[in-house]
Amino acid sequence: MSEKVVLTGIKPTGMPHLGNYVGALKPLIEQSKTQKTFMFIADLHALNTIHDAAQIKQHTYEIAALMVALGLDLNNAILFRQSDISEIYHLNTLLTNVTPKGLMNRAHSYKAAMDKNIAIGADVDAGINMGLYTYPILMTADILLYNSDIVPVGADQKQHVEFARDIAGYFNKIYGDTFKMPEPIIGTETGLIPGLDGRKMSKSYDNIIPLFAPEKDLKKKIMRIITDSKLPEDKKDPDESTIYQLYKHFATDAEIAEFAEMFRRGGMGYGTAKTILFEKINSVLAEPRAKYEYLMSNTAEIEAILADGAKRAGAVARETLGRVKKAMLG
Ligand code: ADP
Ligand code: TRP
């Protein structure tokens, strides 16, 4: 096992989609088999937008159950809830004192929120709470508290990891070498999963297929994939088909080659192709979905897994916070 510590947080804001699964969750789960991984549900980060405790709790269970159902290796991976580790609040407070306000002013998400206000002629700070403004400090605390080396994130989070490096650097310069320098790992843009309309599958385009939808909803979604008007007998280029692009991520090499050939040869209509795609995705996801549904109706088991994670993460957090307090306060 590599000595490097991998850490990532997932915000509990709803069911991930197939793009998130293939592009982010599946690689993380693979990595958890060989590397020490801290994986937490970033419920504190959801607080700046979700002001409903029941909803946050429910979404937290969803993400935890989903990661376990997909096969997260709980020997190497420490799965926990961000808010369960009290050291995170402490470190967050301490780090505010070495974080320049100007750095926060430059955060993309804060700037985007201001730009939106300016565009509609509202006060620039309308609807912006301090949770949003200081979001990158909390994320820095997450990363530094667990001595992370590698932080896999989506492209939109890259700046936050760079801020974590900046803040660690400011701290180390004042107080001596205390924090490691984390490296962001950004999911590549190649192999992007298309959504129902052929564009990148994304929450913001409303074109998603949820990872664990009930079987009949999954089928309905897949049947709604937009295609061109080619007839069944027409020859088709698989690379231009959303159906094939999705199939590629779930089937075996031999199945993929056969599917592509059926498209090229002509004779397979889009309806048939969608049915084959549905059956494939459904069979790959059936077992994890059953496990997910089981856990969601037995949330005490999720709590037990999170409690074990909190115990293991807490030990690391206490050690780091101890060092930081000593450096800052003597
Ligand atoms: P969305 O675009 O739906 O808001 P996010 O930005 O929350 O998705 O993405 C979270 C993670 O999932 C990122 O690491 C990103 O790389 C991955 N991801 C999102 N959409 C896709 C996609 N269509 N194909 C592959 N990976 C994706
Ligand atoms: N901010 C991340 C997101 O919105 C979630 C997150 C919180 C995170 N803390 C983190 C990711 C630490 C990586 C490391 O997706």
The full set of domain ranges for the chain reads 2-192+299-329, 203-291
- Tell me the pLDDT tens digit for each residue of 299-313: 999 999 999 999 999
| Ligand in closest contact with the CA of 249 | 1
Q: Give residue 23 CA to ligand 1 midpoint distance, Å.
A: 6
Residue 85: how many other CB atoms lie within 10 Å = 24
Q: What is the mean pLDDT of residues 233-261?
A: 96
Considering the chain, what percentage of its residues have pLDDT values greater than 70? 98
Averaged pLDDT for residues 188-208: 88
Mean of the per-residue pLDDT values for the chain? Answer: 96
Nearest CA to ligand 1 atom 19: 20
- The model's pLDDT over 53-81, given as tens digits with 9 standing for 90+, comes to 999 999 999 999 999 999 999 999 999 99
Q: How far apart are CA 281 and CA 103, in angstroms?
A: 44
Spatial strand order of the sheet with 150-153 comes to 77-81, 35-41, 2-10, 150-153, 183-186
Q: Verify whether ligand 2 is closer than 6 Å to residue 139 (CB atom).
A: yes
Look up the CATH number of domain 203-291. Answer: 1.10.240.10
Q: Which helix (H) or strand (E) holds 309?
A: helix 299-329
- The per-residue pLDDT for 189 is 58
Taking 80 as the threshold, does the pLDDT of residue 191 lie above it? Answer: no
Which CATH code for domain 2-192+299-329?
3.40.50.620
At 187 the pLDDT is 76
Q: Does the CB atom of residue 192 touch ligand 1 within 6 A?
A: yes
pLDDT digits (tens, 9 = 90+) for 263-293: 999 999 999 999 999 999 999 999 999 999 9
Q: What confidence tier does 3 reach under pLDDT thresholds 50, 70, 90?
A: confident
pLDDT at residue number 192: 84
Instruction: Tell whether ligand 2 has an atom less than 6 A from the beta carbon of residue 83.
Output: no
Q: What is the pLDDT of residue 2?
A: 60
